[in-house]
Amino acid sequence: MFEQFREWETNRHEYAQEWKERTGGKVMGYFCTYVPEEILHAANVLPVRILGSHEPQNVTEPHIFGMFCPFCRDCLAQGLKGRYDYLDGIMIAQSCLHIRQAFTSWEKHRPREFSYYLCMPHHVQSPRALPYLTGELVQFKEAVEEWTGNTITDEGLDHAIEIYNDNRRLLRSIYDLRQDEHPPLTGEEAMEMVISCQMTDKEEHSGEMAKVLDALPTRGNGRDPGVRLMIIGSEDDDIEFINMVETSGATIVVDEHCTGTRYFWNEVEPRDDRLEAIAARYIDRVPCPTKDWEDRSRIPHILELAKKWDVAGAIVMQQKFCDPHELDTVAIRKALDEAGIKTLFLEFDVTVPIGQFKVRVEAFLEMLSDEDLFD
């Protein structure tokens, strides 16, 4: 049922190259989920999320500090090794220092025909954030039109918005099924579905999800869900880690990170000014820690997910050296503890084997299982 998503995720580079040949469009690699993909879609550009390979890297040492997070170093290594040479352009929406450096280094040492730095405001709670970002999107739209030679019309934006909203609605509907006592899909399957969504044509992806959504309610996977968990924190596309957790006696039923729900959770709401509507969506989305300043709006959202998906525990994951998530971790764990939800904190490195985490995960699951026995 989920084989197509796994195929897309595993063979992401081959897919993008085949898409270029089939459509004649351009491919844009992007470093952050604040990139307004709808504008790219309206110009016949395929947005492809730049992710790592989870391999030990040494090619980045001359280009980026060793104390920068392993995720950004892994991403940069993919560019330096030429694995994304099919990209026509690369871009970033204002993000953390580490990812910004990966983008800058890639731009310098593996230049593409087009590159763009979108000044996404960090202080999204400010009343000035929406007009500011709307103005930035006007400039971005003009730059994309000049690059591609394609005019981006209101009708084209309306079509792109609906395609992306439909994809988000399908993802939400499938995630809702994970609230069941016996979820019809695993966390591993859900992760492959969401990751593949960030590197494929959304209409193709939605067509496959519609088939899955029709079949899931009657799917019997014969699997004991075990302990219900959620994962929270830094970017995580580590399929091997998720598999290790779920084969240790658990099911990850929901997540809160930028390769999961934070990517698709809210939709673009219609406005007369399409660019303002798109800007509002990215301003109002569940914020990344680089954007979530004084109001800590992520914490109520995390608690709501934990309650609705009935989780027994949470794995709070922080990419090693990730300062924004490190600042959030204490407040998030405190809020979950006060809500009666135990947490396991893991300082993660996507380029090292997962064996070092297995013992800690198994001990955490044993603790939760013992608590359940004595409740």
pLDDT, tens digit (0-9, with 9 covering 90-100), for 7-58:
999 999 999 999 999 999 999 999 999 999 999 999 999 999 999 888 777 7
pLDDT in tens, 233-267: 888 888 999 999 999 999 999 999 989 999 999 99
Helix (H, G, I), strand (E, B) or coil at 185: coil
Smallest CA-to-CA distance from 118 within 151, 149, 143 is with 143
Confidence of residue 293 (pLDDT cuts 50, 70, 90): low
For residue 98, the model assigns a pLDDT of 87
Model confidence at 374: pLDDT above 50: no
**Least confident range of 159-163, 189-193, 321-325:** 321-325
